[in-house]
Chain A
Amino acid sequence: MTANKVTPLKAAPEPQPETETRVSEGHAAPRPILQVEGVNKIYNNGTVALKGAGLSVKQGEFVSLLGPSGCGKSTLLRIMAGLGEVTSGTVKWWEQDYDVVGSKGRKLAFVFQNATLMPWARVRKNVRLPLDLEHKGGSADAEKKVDDALEMVGLKGFDESFPRELSGGMQMRASIARAMVTEPNLLLMDEPFGALDEMTRNKLNDDVLKLRKENGWTIVFVTHSVYEAVYLSSRVVVMAARPGRIVDDIKIDEPYPRSPDFRMSTEFAGYCRQVSQALERASAMGESKEESH
């Protein structure tokens, strides 16, 4: 049975208006933008990828999904994006049925593990792709959005380059710019900086925080790195494997904007210890399950 079967919408009601698009740190009770309730995902070969996953992402939050390999982080993220069907459970968008809101109303963007650019197209065309797919490309407004996005990610002047002419970090920036042009309510990022070196990764972490502040993004971010999760997030959700499930939800109660100084602070070290311990427990849960099998 597929409760969250994603089908094109014919007569979708307008999404509920956003009352607040900017990041609302410190404000009372922001609305949940996305709610995952009791989601189970079982593959055809019987593998239980997710069991009873429940997660609510509020407007303006930066939620990191952290866990050992095979715990279903990416699966959960893809389900949030409507890219995977669930076996049972529900996914709600602005407290409405996921499908009812329709693709236009959802306004989400996905940044993949690698830059996922079209190698045959120049950077400008790659960044404009979501607008082209929504038949909004070609207009002066679209071109301006592309220019703005390229400028914000520091790729101004590279719009006529081909992806192969860019470094790994620059390709990832182009990928982020492509996500930006859709002006998403929710940005889903699947280990976007996993393949980059430490320095580039740290730089891009700061860039993401800056862009989030400027654009009012709500972000769900999958990572393997405890440090990255703590540095970026307002919440770290820890998952365990076999079956994939959420086992911990740790609030990182530190104000934004965060600077590299935060990485040197005792608070940062404390959160890292707390999250690492949670991750250890989650890993142990997966291993004990494996042994009992």
Chain B
Amino acid sequence: MSTPLIRNERFVQIAAPLMVGVLVLLLWQVSVMAFDVPKYLVPSPVDIMQSLVTDFSSLFNALLMTLKVTFLAFAISVVLGVAASLLFVQSKWIEVSLFPYAVLLQVTPVVAIAPLIIIWVNDTTWALTICAVIVAIFPIISNTTLGLRSVDPNLLSMFRMYRTSRWQELVRLRIPGALPYFFGGLRISSGLALIGAVVAEFVAGTGGSKAGLAYMILQSGYNLQIPKMFAALILITLTGILLFAAMVWLSDRALRNWHESALKVEH
């Protein structure tokens, strides 16, 4: 006998939040209509959808620009972050000497240094990317370093008993053991790369062919095109959700056989 849909865990996981979303949208639409709220104050969901369709071309180009900066920044953060972590675990001295500077990157507000970077770096895309990297890199460094250090001491003893090289220790023990921590860092960093890209663009205020979604929001605000503003905001949020979901999927794929975070527990 087939299981009723309501008892299907996967169905509930998708349907329940979807229903909440539909209800909120309905309530929003009805409230805006009932109180006759002007579009330039709070547009209705239907207005926003209309804007998404009519301004699709400009919004889509802006989305591509934001995605380009986000992905570039994310990729650079992963490569540099992992490289920094591998360097840190080589010696406590290296970590002690360099880690404070990694923290410095984390605590410095990107809006405060973005104008400097934009002055120093001619190419706008790269200037925005550097800003986003500054925001996104720290979780990768911090999580991966923690993971590379969190080795089962007995397994480490065993490796030492066989007089293994540091390379073997790294490849066979530390890196596989650090994967759950690394993927945790990826989840945080992917969202931060997008936030960094958007914030940097707000500061840079780039227009023309290099306009991203942040610039679109600013521009729409000046022109009181509030539905378009909301449409751009929705695209940013959707991008963030998709990025996070992709990282969760990747992490589950990589860890599903052995790590508690990705195991399906049967009751």
**Residues of chain A whose beta carbon lies under 8 Å from any beta carbon of chain B:** 8, 78, 81-83, 103, 108, 110, 112-114, 116, 118-121, 129-130, 132-134, 162-164
Interface centre among A78, A110, A120 (most CB of B within 10 A): A120
A134 and B258: CB pair below 8 A?
no
Query: Which residues on the B side are within 8 Å of A78 (C-beta)?
Result: 157
A133 and B155: CB pair below 8 A?
no
A78 to B154, CA, bound (A): 11
B176 and A103: CB pair below 8 A?
no
A118 to B257, CA, bound (A): 12
Closest CB-CB distance, A178 to chain B, in whole Å? 9
Query: Would you call B108 an interface residue if the criterion is a C-beta within 8 Å of the partner chain's C-beta atoms?
Result: no
With A103-B163, A133-B164: A119-B158 Cβ-Cβ less than 8 Å: no
Contact of B157 among A83, A103, A120 (CB under 8 A): A83
A116 and B155: CB pair below 8 A?
yes
The digit string for B133-177, where 1 denotes a CB below 8 A from any CB of A, is: 000000000000000000010110111111110001000110011
Dominant SS among interface residues on chain A: loop
Residue total for B at the interface (Cβ-Cβ under 8 A): 21
With A162-B257, A164-B258, A164-B263: A118-B155 Cβ-Cβ less than 8 Å: yes
A110 and B158: CB pair below 8 A?
yes
B258 and A81: CB pair below 8 A?
no
Closest CB-CB distance, A118 to chain B, in whole Å? 7
With A132-B172, A133-B168: A119-B161 Cβ-Cβ less than 8 Å: no
A112 and B173: CB pair below 8 A?
no
A187 to B252, CA, bound (A): 38
A78 to B156, CA, bound (A): 13
B157 and A130: CB pair below 8 A?
no
A118 and B164: CB pair below 8 A?
no
Query: Which residues on the B side are within 8 Å of A134 (C-beta)?
Result: 162
Closest CB-CB distance, B138 to chain A, in whole Å? 26
Query: Which residues on the A side are within 8 Å of B258 (C-beta)?
Result: 119-120, 162-164
Closest CB-CB distance, A140 to chain B, in whole Å? 22
Write 7 A-B pairs (CB below 8 A) sorted by A numbering.
Answer: A108-B161, A119-B259, A129-B158, A129-B172, A130-B158, A133-B172, A134-B162
